[in-house]
Structure 1
C-alpha cells in the first residue's frame, strides 16, 4: 500500500521525506563533506632559476616552490591560497600562471603588469586564474593613476571584475585608494595598511584608511604584522577591532605572507596561522575571516 493510500497528501509525503533525510543526518553529512573555505590571500612562490627584474630592491637566495607552499596549506588546514607576484620578478608572470594552472583552481593569482599591457594578455591571465593586479609602491614614485594609460588599464580591470592590490604606507593610501575607487575598481590594502610604526593606530593615515570602510569597495589584509615594526603584533591586536568595526568581517582578509621574505629567520607559516587565533579569538568570526576572500578572489 502506498503512502497516499495511508491518507498522506503529496505535500505531506514530501515534507516527511525531507524531515527524515534531515533527521537521519544525510543533509548534515553532505554539509560535512563540503569543507568550509579557509583562504590564505597572500603568499609568494619562486625559485632561483627565474629571471629577476632590473631595479629590484631585494632578491632571495633560496627557493620557495609551489609544492612547499601547498604543503603549508595542507598542514595548517587551509583549503585555498592566493599567489601574489613577487616584486623582484617584475611583470613576467609566467611562473605565477604555471603554478595556477598546475593546481586546478585551488589557487588564485595577483599579477604585476605594465600599464600598457595588451587586452589579450589580461584575458589570458584571467583565464589562468588571476583575479587582480598588485601595485607594490614601497620605495617607488607614486604613479599618476589619472593618466591616460592608467585609466585605460583600470577600465579593463573593472571590466574583468578584478581587484587592485596596493602595498604602500597608510599616509599615501588615503590619497591613492580614492583615485582608484573613483574609477570603479575594487581595492585591497596590504598588511594592515602599513601605518607609521611609531604611531600605529594613531597614524592619521591609518585613521583615514578606516574611513574607507564605508565605501564597501575596499578590503584590508590582516597579514604580516611583523612588517609593521618591532611591536607589530601588539599593533595588530589594537588595529583589528578598529578595522572590524570600520569594514566588517567580510572585508578583512587573512594572509600568511609565506615565505615571509626578509623575515624568514623569525617567521613561519604555522606561527602566522597561530597568530590569527590570537588576533581573532572567536572561532566563528575567525571562520568568517578565512572564508571572506571567496567572492573578491572569485573562488
Structure 2
C-alpha cells in the first residue's frame, strides 16, 4: 500500500493565542515509526510516520501542557505506539485505545496503569469495519467498571441509527468532531438540532476541534466555527478541544496547527469558557487520577 503524502505541517505558525496554564490537546495521534510499530495489515491508509517526539515538540510549540492520544485506525488494535508514547510522558499524556472485544481483564488493567482512560468505537465505514453493536456494548460495560469512557466517531448521517445504542451505554460517551455535522446545511438545520438534543444528556461530551476536516470553505474555517461555538455555549462543562494532529486522511489541504489554535477564542469567546474547554474539562475526564 502506498504511503499517503504528509498531512501535517513541518513548520506550523506560532499562534497569537496563548492557551491557559495546563491546557490539554485532547485529540491527537501518533503514527509509527512504521519500522518499530508496524501499521495494521487491514488498514485503509498508510500515513507518513508521525512519532511521539514530533507530537511532543508540537505541544511545546503551541503552548500546551498535555496530550490525550487517540489510537488511530491505521494501527488497528495494536496499541504499542500509543502505549510507548504514554510511557514516555506519564504525567503529560493519557490515551484512548482500540481493543479486541475479547481482550483480557489483565491487559485492560495494564493499559489503565499506563494511562489509558477509554476505548474508541469507529463507525466510519470508509475507515474501518465496525464491530456489531452488541459486541461493542459488552466491551463498554467491561471498561465502565474501570472508570473508563467510550469515544465514538461517526458521521451525521449515522446519528439516527446510532443514538439508541449510544444512549444505553453504561458510561460517559465522548463524540469526536461534533458528530461530523453537515456544514453546508447550517447550524439551524434539523440534523444539528437532533445532535444538540442528544448531547443535552449529561453522559455525552463533545470534541469541538477539527474544523479543517469539516469545512466547505477552507481556512480560516469560518463556516465551522458557529457549530463549535454553539456547543461550547450549550454544554460548557462537557466540551473538549484537540488539534487532531497529524490530521490523518486529509486530502484537501495541510492544516496549520497554529491557525487551529488561533480559532479557539472564536469558538470559546470568554476566558471562562476557554478555561473549561482547555483545562478544567479534560483534567476532570482524563487527569483526575
TM-score, structure 1 as length reference: 0.80
The aligned runs of 1:203-282 (5 Å cut-off) are 203-231=189-217, 233-246=221-234, 248-263=235-250, 265-282=253-270
SS at match of 2:27: strand
Structure with larger RCO (C-alpha < 8 A, sep 6+) = 2
> Which is higher, the Rg of structure 1 or of structure 2?
1
Residues 206 and 239 of structure 2 are in contact (CA less than 8 Å); yes or no, is this contact kept in structure 1?
Answer: yes
- The aligned counterpart of 1:21 is none
Larger mean CA deviation between 91-100 and 281-290 belongs to 281-290
Match of 1:285 among 253, 273, 278: 273
Count, aligned residues: 261
Counterpart-to-counterpart distance in 2, 1:286 and 1:174:
31
Deviation of 1:142 (Å):
5.2
Larger mean CA deviation between 259-268 and 62-71 belongs to 259-268
SS at match of 2:240: strand
Residues 171 and 206 of structure 1 are in contact (CA less than 8 Å); yes or no, is this contact kept in structure 2?
Answer: no
Larger mean CA deviation between 109-118 and 136-145 belongs to 136-145
SS at match of 1:198: helix
Residues 201 and 235 of structure 1 are in contact (CA less than 8 Å); yes or no, is this contact kept in structure 2?
Answer: no
- The aligned counterpart of 2:179 is 193
Residues 221 and 255 of structure 1 are in contact (CA less than 8 Å); yes or no, is this contact kept in structure 2?
Answer: yes
Residues 173 and 209 of structure 1 are in contact (CA less than 8 Å); yes or no, is this contact kept in structure 2?
Answer: yes
Deviation of 1:192 (Å):
1.9
Counterpart-to-counterpart distance in 2, 1:65 and 1:54:
19
Matched, 1:298 2:287: yes
Larger mean CA deviation between 157-166 and 271-280 belongs to 271-280
Deviations along 1:114-156, one digit per CA (max 9) or x if unpaired, are 22212111111111100111112212555432x2x43331211
- The aligned counterpart of 1:115 is 101
- For structure 2, list consecutive stretches of 5 or more residues without a partner in the other structure: 1-19
Match of 2:83 among 79, 85, 97: 97
TM-score, structure 2 as length reference: 0.83
The aligned runs of 1:25-44 (5 Å cut-off) are 36-44=21-29
RMSD: 2.1
Deviation of 1:162 (Å):
1.0
SS at match of 1:88: helix
Counterpart-to-counterpart distance in 2, 1:130 and 1:177:
25
- The aligned counterpart of 1:144 is 132
- For structure 1, list consecutive stretches of 5 or more residues without a partner in the other structure: 1-34
Residues 258 and 268 of structure 1 are in contact (CA less than 8 Å); yes or no, is this contact kept in structure 2?
Answer: no
- The aligned counterpart of 1:59 is 46
Residues 62 and 261 of structure 2 are in contact (CA less than 8 Å); yes or no, is this contact kept in structure 1?
Answer: yes
Deviations along 1:177-215, one digit per CA (max 9) or x if unpaired, are 442331312111111210234324345332211012321
Deviation of 1:44 (Å):
0.8
- The aligned counterpart of 1:72 is 58
